[in-house]
């Protein structure tokens, strides 16, 4: 009986060793994947930093002014009039301000073949007479 018990213990130890090796191998594979993902993230962050630096270089006012002067005959750019800017009150309503459709009422009152009530479409407010000086543009910023 001692020999049978020894064989069972050897089998249990072999199975435990196989399970331990499998778990260790999977952990190493996951660690390699984590290192690969960290390298990709670092590459993306470096690319973003490079693109931000390139954008800062490309959008320098001196450079843009030089380009406008060089290509002025082709582009024929004109300054934007202050009257071409929209005031905050002229913009349509925000989605959060639009009243939600009343689904329960539409289902209860709807008859087959009848069209459901259309929701009002938000329209911009009409432009009023200029009450402000031309240099004061309403931006909605806090004072």
Q: For 122, which DSSP code?
A: P
Q: Reduced to 3 states, what is the DSSP secondary structure of residue 27?
A: helix
Q: Residue 130, CB half-sphere, CA atoms under 13 Å: how many?
A: 11
DSSP 58-120: HT-HHHHHHHHHHTHHHH---PPPGGGSPPGGGSPPPGGGSPPP-HHHHHHH--TTPPPPPPP
pLDDT digits (tens, 9 = 90+) for 60-118: 999 998 998 899 889 888 877 777 777 777 777 777 777 777 766 556 555 554 555 55
Judged against a pLDDT cut of 80, whether residue 2 lies above it is answered with no
pTM of the predicted structure, to 2 decimals: 0.44
């Amino acid at each position: 009986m001692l020999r049978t018990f020894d064989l069972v213990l050897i089998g249990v130890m072999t199975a435990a060793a196989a399970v331990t090796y499998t778990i260790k191998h999977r952990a190493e594979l996951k660690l390699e994947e984590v290192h690969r993902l960290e390298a990709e993230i670092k590459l993306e962050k470096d690319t973003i930093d490079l693109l931000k630096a390139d954008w800062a270089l490309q959008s320098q006012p001196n450079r843009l002014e030089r380009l406008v002067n060089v290509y002025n005959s082709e582009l024929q750019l004109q300054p934007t009039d202050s009257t071409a800017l929209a005031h905050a009150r002229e913009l349509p309503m925000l989605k959060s301000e639009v009243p939600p459709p009343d689904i329960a009422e539409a289902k209860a009152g709807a008859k087959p073949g009848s069209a459901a009530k259309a929701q009002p479409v938000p329209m911009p407010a009409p432009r009023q007479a200029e009450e402000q000086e031309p240099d004061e543009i309403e931006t909605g910023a806090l004072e």
